[in-house]
């Protein structure tokens, strides 16, 4: 039995979203107060999703988290808010040019080595210190 194309695309999109969120989880040393144990990222307390199960917000602020950001964050195409401020996340900030809905990017007070090259004109970037 063949699945309709729209169903196949939805399944692929869900797999890609979960893969990206698992990569984020793996690349960060989460503290005990961040519970990302559920296999469904939309059930993680610091993550919000739209009704379509697409990630719209990731808010891990002031959690004492160390680690790096995975290069595939731009696959979370419906992400509106990314707040990771006051942690100890380091390395390069990955390409975020695919995040066309991104409005708030709060990364200040981390250990990043770079600023994203391309952001949408409606994105507010907060990256004032180390």
Identify the CATH class of 5-126: alpha beta
Residue 80 has, within 13 A of its CA and on its CB side, a CA count of 7
- Per-residue model confidence as pLDDT tens digits over 45-54: 999 999 888 9
**pTM for this one?**
0.82
What percent of the chain is modeled with pLDDT above 70?
Answer: 78
Q: What is the pLDDT of residues 50-108, one digit of tens each?
A: 988 899 999 999 999 999 999 999 899 999 999 999 999 998 888 888 888 999 999 88
Place of tokens 């708030």: 104
- Give CA 104 to chain center in angstroms: 12
- Using CA atoms, how far apart are residues 25 and 37, in angstroms rounded to an integer? 10
Every domain of the chain and the residues it spans = 5-126
């Amino acid at each position: 039995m063949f699945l309709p194309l729209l169903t196949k695309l939805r399944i692929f999109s869900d797999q890609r979203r979960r893969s990206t969120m698992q990569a984020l989880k793996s690349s960060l040393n989460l503290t005990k107060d961040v519970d990302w144990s559920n296999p469904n990222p939309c059930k993680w307390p610091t993550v919000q999703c739209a009704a379509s199960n697409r990630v719209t917000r990731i808010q891990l602020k002031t959690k004492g988290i160390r680690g790096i950001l995975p290069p595939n964050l731009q696959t979370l195409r419906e992400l509106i808010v990314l707040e990771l401020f006051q942690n100890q996340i380091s390395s390069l900030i990955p390409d975020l040019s695919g995040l066309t809905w991104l409005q708030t990017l709060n990364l200040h007070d981390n250990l990043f080595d770079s600023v994203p090259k391309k952001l949408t004109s409606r994105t507010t970037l907060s990256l004032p210190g180390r």
